[in-house]
Amino acid sequence: MAGVSRKASKTGAANATTADLVAVLVAVTDGEPKIMTIANAGALPSGPFEFAHRSLQTGLRAWVEAQTGHPLGYVEQLYTFADRGRAGDAKSPHSISISYLGLTREDKVGHGFEAHWSGWYEYFPWEDQRSGLPATLAKTLASRLRAWSKSAATASLQRERWQRVAITFGLDEREWNEELVLQRYELLYEAGLVPEAVRDGASAAAVIPGRPMSGDHRRILATGIARLRAKIKYRPVVFELMPSEFTLLQLQRSVEALAGRLVHKQNFRRLIEQQQLVEETGAIAADTVGRPAKLFRFRHGVLAERAVVGTKLPLSRT
């Protein structure tokens, strides 16, 4: 084992690869989650990894700022992929994509840049469960997935497939789990129901709605959405997507947009207030219908005060 390690550093040239950074840049505008896209909304922004920065993180930050003309709020690494498409070709140098999740606001993008923002549910229509799925989409999905299950060789494999479908898509009385974005996409890919699968060699089955992307980008996007949906539950990252002042309903709408689900209004407020995440600005929202709401701002102090992580272990206090 030690030998392997030493060999690795000696033969550096032999394992040369190309590395790219891929960014999932998210904003929420008018209660809709958006992502920055290029190539006519068919790809995520990406660039070569050729920075002289201390870390990948600052490299991405610098690159995005150079491209968009505006600083990036929250950044976190997502995942490192070996491109699925080119992997079959064992002779070519491997291509690695290091993906990042970044949170900003749409209005922060400077002018003169050719960035586009696309609603993320264009790529994953089934992920928006805020008002249930459109009946036609729900039916299409269910029937195609059932057909795929049935196409397995043995009865037990068929049952296995359907159980997986039911869990990831919340069928058969099961609950919808909004965090399983990646699992759902990968299942659809496996079932040959997305254009990328057909492109990569699957038999051209009937494809379901949802705009494809080039390369692995839709998979990377799914990873980003899943991560963000998990993160908003235990870290106050939504505020990176909000204007400096907002009403509690606006905040709620943003969370709902990201989660793809509706939340209980009063309980949502209780949650926010008891965690002391926000403070009143004193101002009142203007030009609204109904009773005017108080404006709040994020209490940046909480980030310094707390290191919020939830415990599920029955820790002993003694």
Binding to DNA in span 262-291, by CB under 7 A: 264-267, 269-271, 285, 288-291
Q: Which of 198, 242, 262, 302 binds a second copy (CB under 8 A)?
A: 262
Structure tokens at 131: 């008002």
Query: How many whole angstroms separate alpha carbon 311 and alpha carbon 318?
Result: 17
Tokens of 8: 């690795």
Backbone CA torsion sign across 140, 141, 147, 150:
negative
Query: Nearest approach, Cβ of 268 to a second copy (angstroms)?
Result: 5
Nearer residue to DNA within complex by CB, 294 or 297: 294
- Nearest residue (CB) to DNA, 152 versus 293: 293
Site for DNA in 195-214 (CB under 7 A): none
Q: Is 302 in the site for DNA (CB under 7 A)?
A: no
Instruction: Return the number of the residue (74 or 79) whose C-beta is nearest a second copy.
Output: 79
Instruction: Write out the binding residues for a second copy, residues 112-151 only, by CB under 8 A.
Output: 113-115
Among positive and negative, which fits the CA dihedral 140, 145, 151, 156? negative
Residue 54 in contact with DNA, rule: CB under 7 A: no
Cα first-last separation, the chain: 43
Nearest-angstrom CA–CA distance, 226 and 221: 9
Name residue, tokens 């030009």: 287
- Does residue 28 contact residue 237 with C-beta atoms inside 8 Å? no
Shortest approach of a second copy to residue 15 CB, angstroms?
A: 4
The whole-angstrom separation of Cα 21 and Cα 76 is: 12
Of a second copy, DNA, none, which one does residue 261 interact with (CB within 5 to 8 Å by kind)?
a second copy
- Residues 233-252 binding DNA (CB under 7 A) are 247-249
Interface with a second copy (CB under 8 A), residue from 30, 31, 62, 80: 80
112 binds DNA (CB under 7 A): no
Kind and range of the H or E run holding 280: strand 278-284
Q: Does residue 46 bind a second copy (CB under 8 A)?
A: yes
81: β partners: 97
- Site of interaction with DNA (CB under 7 A): 247-249, 264-267, 269-271, 285, 288-294, 311-312, 314-318
